[in-house]
Structure formats: structure tokens, C-alpha cells
Amino acid sequence: MPKRIGILGGISHESTIEYYRLLQKEYFERHKDYYYPEIVIFSLDFQRFTDFEDAGNIQNYIGYIMEGITALENAGVNFILMAANSPHAVFDVVAELARVPMLSIVKVTAEAVRREGVKKVLLLGVRFTVQSGFYQKACRELGTQVLVPSEEEQDEINRIVFEELTIGDFQSKGKLWEIIDHYDVDGVILGCTELPVALKQADTDKVLFDTVALHAEAALEHAFY
């Protein structure tokens, strides 16, 4: 029997939907049958989550994340993935508190960058993720240099993500490409789980690291092996 997957979602619902879709799609492409893994989703209150994040209220931030993790544990999941990049700023803390294993999007992505042999990448994400430093640390340990957008560009990315992408509005994706083109890098980490819905590999020569797809693929591997 495959392991039961727990998804801490709602951060935001757009990326949570994409996780669910990719898990089902990838499973069928691999196995050509309908014995899909069981999946339990606990959807956090996005505004409450974001308020704690924006205020730097780490104690309540961790506490609220753990409410969701505990609910998933009580539902009988065998491991959990947080369907967002930003809460991985406290991944080590919540992984220690959790009663079941946690699968890190950061570790999965950093290893993918290493496998591709990319030595310099741009980290694209919301301000909290970019400034927390966890991607920079994980990639540096594997020999990759990480560049980040300017403060002004971070503000614009934040606006696009929270005001547009989280509700499925892609009108400003051209601005995101403009920011990417400012930097002399070989790859781009799409370090916000809304970004891969708007930015596609077919539109650039730079290697895009789709954190949602990488995380979902790793979850499927973990569920069956």
C-alpha cells in the first residue's frame, strides 16, 4: 500500500489545486492505472497565515502551521508536505515538532539545481521567502550561487503574487519576465508556488525550477518507495 500523503494547503488555494492536479497526473503517467495514492488536504486560512508572516510573529506563525500539521496527523497521513515555499523558513522547527516525516520543498529544489549543473540561479519569490535566506543556504551548501531581485523588484513581485496570482490573475507575468531578464543567470528558482502557474519553460532559455512540480514528484516517489 502506498503511503497516505498529507498536504498543508490554502497558502494559497491556487497552488494547492496545482499540487493535487500534478500528483494525480504524474501518477497516471507513470502507472497507467487508477490506484492513486490517498491524499488528505488541510487548507489554512490564507489571510491569517499571511498576517503572522508579514508581522514577523514567528511564535503564532509556527503555532498556526502546527494546527494544520496536527489535523493531518490525526487524519492518518504518513508524511506531510507544506504546499508553499515561505513556511519553509521554519521547516526545521515544525519538522521537529511533527509526529510524521516532513518533505522539504527547499531540499528537493536545491538537489534539482545541483543535478542540472546550474551554478548561478535567480531566486524569485515573495519578500519573506527571498529575505529569509533558506534557499540561499541550501543551494550554497550544494555549490550554487543564488542571486535575489532588488528591493524594488521584491516589492513588485510581492504585489503581483498577493494581488494577482493568488486569485488566478496573470496580467503582470510580463513584468516577472522583465525582472528575470535583468539578471545574468543560467536558471531561476520559482520560489513561490503560484509562480509556476504563470511562468512556463517554453517562454525562456533559462532553466526554470518549478518548485511545485519538483515537490509533487518527490512526494509521489516517497509515497511508493
pLDDT tens for residues 68-97?
999 999 999 999 999 999 999 999 999 999
- Angstrom distance (rounded) from CA 131 to CA 91: 15
The amino acid present at 22, given as its one-letter code, is L
Which CATH architecture group holds 106-211?
A: 3-Layer(aba) Sandwich (3.40)
- Angstrom distance (rounded) from CA 45 to CA 68: 10
- Angstrom distance (rounded) from CA 57 to CA 43: 20
Quote the DSSP letter at residue 194.
Answer: T
- Angstrom distance (rounded) from CA 80 to CA 5: 6
168 phi-psi bin (left φ>0, alpha ψ -120 to 50, beta other): left
- Angstrom distance (rounded) from CA 54 to CA 36: 37
Instruction: Give the pLDDT score at 69.
Output: 98
Instruction: Give the pLDDT score at 22.
Output: 96
| E-only strand ranges, 126-206 | 145-147, 187-190
Q: In the block, which residue shows the cell 488566478?
A: 168
What is the model's pTM? Answer: 0.93
pLDDT tens for residues 96-129?
999 999 999 999 999 999 999 999 999 999 999 9
Instruction: Give the pLDDT score at 221.
Output: 95
pLDDT tens for residues 184-214?
999 999 999 999 989 999 999 999 999 999 9
- Angstrom distance (rounded) from CA 103 to CA 159: 28
Distance of CA 32 to the CA centre of its chain: 27
Which CATH architecture group holds 5-104+213-224?
A: 3-Layer(aba) Sandwich (3.40)
pLDDT of residue 172 exceeding 90, the answer is yes
Say whether 106-211 and 5-104+213-224 share the same fold: yes
pLDDT tens for residues 4-57?
999 999 999 989 999 999 999 999 999 999 999 999 999 999 999 999 999 999
Give 1's pLDDT tier (boundaries 50, 70, 90): confident
- Angstrom distance (rounded) from CA 214 to CA 220: 10
pLDDT tens for residues 46-57?
999 999 999 999
Q: What's the whole-number average pLDDT of the chain?
A: 96
How many residues are recorded in the chain?
225
For the chain, what are the domain ranges? 5-104+213-224, 106-211
- Angstrom distance (rounded) from CA 7 to CA 29: 21
Give 225's pLDDT tier (boundaries 50, 70, 90): confident
